[in-house]
Chain A
Amino acid sequence: MTLVLHRIDDRLIHGQVVVGWGQPLDIRFIVLVDDEVAASEWEQELYRMGVPPEMDVYFLNVARAVDELPRLRADTRQGILLTGDIDTMRRLVDSGGITSVNLGGIHHRTGRSQRLRYVFLNNDEESALREIAALGVSISAQDVPGARPVPLDDILAGVAS
Chain B
Amino acid sequence: MSDRAPGENAKPVPRAIVAGHGDFASGLVSAVDVITGRGTQLIPVAVPGLCAEDIEKLIRERMTESGVKVIFTDLQAGSCTMAARRILRGADDAVLIAGVNLPTLLDFVFADQMPAIDAARHAAERGRGAISVVGAAGGGGGGGGGGGGVKQA
Indicate if B41 sits at the interface (CB-CB under 8 A).
no
Chain A at the B interface: SS class: loop
> How many contacting A-B pairs (Cβ < 8 A)?
48
Cross-chain contact B82 with A108 (CB below 8 angstroms):
no
Knowing A18-B77, A19-B75, A50-B76, the reply to whether A12 touches B52 (Cβ < 8 A) is yes
Where the two chains meet, the residues of B that have a C-beta atom closer than 8 Å to any C-beta of A are 21, 48-52, 54, 75-79, 81-82, 85-86, 89
Q: Which residues of A contact B86 (CB under 8 A)?
A: 46
B50–A108 touching, CB < 8 Å: yes
Interface of A with B (CB < 8 Å)? 10-15, 17-19, 42, 46-47, 49-51, 105, 107-109, 117-118
Minimal beta-carbon separation of A76 from chain B (angstroms): 24
Given A11-B79, A15-B78, A19-B75, is A108 in contact with B51 using a C-beta cutoff of 8 Å? yes
Cα–Cα distance between A23 and B52 once the two chains are bound (Å): 23
Which residues from chain A contact B85 at a C-beta distance below 8 Å?
A: 46, 49
B43 to chain A, nearest CB (A): 21
Further 4 A-B residue pairs, CB within 8 A, beyond A14-B79, A18-B77: A10-B52, A11-B79, A108-B54, A117-B49
A-chain residues with CB within 8 Å of residue B81 when the two chains form the complex: 50
Chain B CB within 10 A, most for which of A46, A47, A105, A107: A107
